[in-house]
Structure 1
Amino acid sequence: MYRAIGIIVFLLIVISVLLATIALLVSRISLNRHVWLAGFFAGILDFFYMPLKYFFYKFSDPRILDKWMVSLKNISNRNSFKKTDRRMIIAPHCMRHIDCPASSKRTGIQCISCGKCVFTRLREDAPKYGYDLYIVTGSSFVKHIIKEKDYDAALLIACDYELNKVMMGLKGKKLITYGIPMLNDGCFNTEVEYENVIETLEMLVK
């Protein structure tokens, strides 16, 4: 009996390692081209995220794992996102100017279009494409946003780690997500390639 259990456990470990390895390979390929079964492989990486994260900490850069996973999820969610109606953009406060005069409330920073940072442009462009804009100082603000309005899609702007984190957090909230990675990480003076933002808005038009 114990021998049979040992064989089953061994087979499960082998299958798990094989699936995770294939999912990692597919996620890496997804950076450059479309891949099949993106949602299936994204689910595998979500399931094995913690041990994979530890592995990347030990032997590589964990940001690489998040980047690959975001790419895979974007491919998986792209067509579903295009079918949505009630959309929002969630962006991090670290992209605002260090002397930002805007105040904050439960749903984030209240941009006043002072012209000091990219949010002046984004606040103007977001409604043109059917989005509400939220500038948040942490993932906890997203909970308040979801409660305030009934959205079915969220376009996220953040570093790869935060993108992946929020995508996993919203997975069970009936929200379709799509991520735009920033050019750099950090707590302030971060940037996003605005041309990439506009291209994404154009691509996701219903």
Structure 2
Amino acid sequence: MYKTIGILITVIFIISLLLAGIALAVSRISLNRHVWLAGFFAGVLDFFYMPLKYFFYKFSDPRILDKWMVSLKNISNRNSFKKSTKRMIIAPHCMRAMDCPASSKRTGIQCITCGKCVFSQLKKDAPKYGYDLYIVTGSSFVKHIIKEKDYDAALLIACDYELNKVMMGLKGKSIVTYGIPMLNDGCFKTKVDYDKVIETLNMLSS
């Protein structure tokens, strides 16, 4: 009996390694082209996220794993996002000006369109494409946002780690997500390719 259990555990371990390995390879390929079964492989990577994160931390850069997973999830979620009707943009406060005069409340920074940072333009463009804009100081603010309004889609702007974190957090909330990675990481003076933002808004509207 113990031998049988041992064999079963070994088989499960080998299958798990193969699945995780294939999922990683597919996620890497997804950076450059469309891949099949993106949703399935994204689920596999979500399931094995913590051990994979440790592996990347030890032997590579954990940000690479998040980048690959976000790319895979974007492919998986694209068509569902296009069918959504109640959309929001969630962006990080680290992109605002250092001397930002805006105040904050439970749902994030209240942009006053002062013209000092990219949010002045994004606040004008978001409604044109049917989005509400939220500028948050942490992923915990998302909990307050989804309690106030009933959204079915969220366009996320953040570093790859935060994108993947929020994507996993909203997976069980019936909110489809799509992520736009920032050009740099950090707690302030971060930037996003605004042409990429507009390109994504147009693509998800078509």
Calculate the TM-score normalised by the size of structure 2.
1.00
| 1:4 pairs with 2:4 | yes
Once residues 38 and 18 of structure 2 are traced to their aligned partners in structure 1, the CA distance between those partners, rounded to angstroms, is 16
TM superposition shift of 1:79: 0.1
Matches within 5 A, 1:52-131: 52-131=52-131
| 1:39 pairs with 2:39 | yes
Please list the CA deviations of residues 37-56 of structure 1 after superposition, one character each: whole Å capped at 9, or x if unmatched. Answer: 00000000000000000000
Aligned to 1:20, the other structure's residue is in SS state: helix
Once residues 167 and 41 of structure 1 are traced to their aligned partners in structure 2, the CA distance between those partners, rounded to angstroms, is 15
TM superposition shift of 1:59: 0.4
TM superposition shift of 1:119: 0.1
Query: Structure 2: any 5+ residue segments left out of the alignment?
Result: none
- In structure 1, the residue matched to 2:202 is 202
**Counterpart residue identity of residue 101, structure 1:** P
Matches within 5 A, 1:154-193: 154-193=154-193
Q: Give the aligned CA root-mean-square deviation in angstroms.
A: 0.4
Once residues 58 and 40 of structure 2 are traced to their aligned partners in structure 1, the CA distance between those partners, rounded to angstroms, is 26
Aligned to 2:184, the other structure's residue is in SS state: coil
TM superposition shift of 1:194: 0.1
* Runs of 4+ with >2 A deviation: none
Aligned to 1:112, the other structure's residue is in SS state: coil
Please list the CA deviations of residues 110-166 of structure 1 after superposition, one character each: whole Å capped at 9, or x if unmatched. Answer: 000000000000000000000000000011110010010000000000000000000
- In structure 1, the residue matched to 2:23 is 23
Once residues 19 and 8 of structure 1 are traced to their aligned partners in structure 2, the CA distance between those partners, rounded to angstroms, is 16
**Counterpart residue identity of residue 33, structure 1:** R
Please list the CA deviations of residues 61-112 of structure 1 after superposition, one character each: whole Å capped at 9, or x if unmatched. Answer: 0000000000000000000000000000000000000000000000000000
Number of aligned residue pairs? 206
Calculate the TM-score normalised by the size of structure 1.
1.00
Identity %: 83
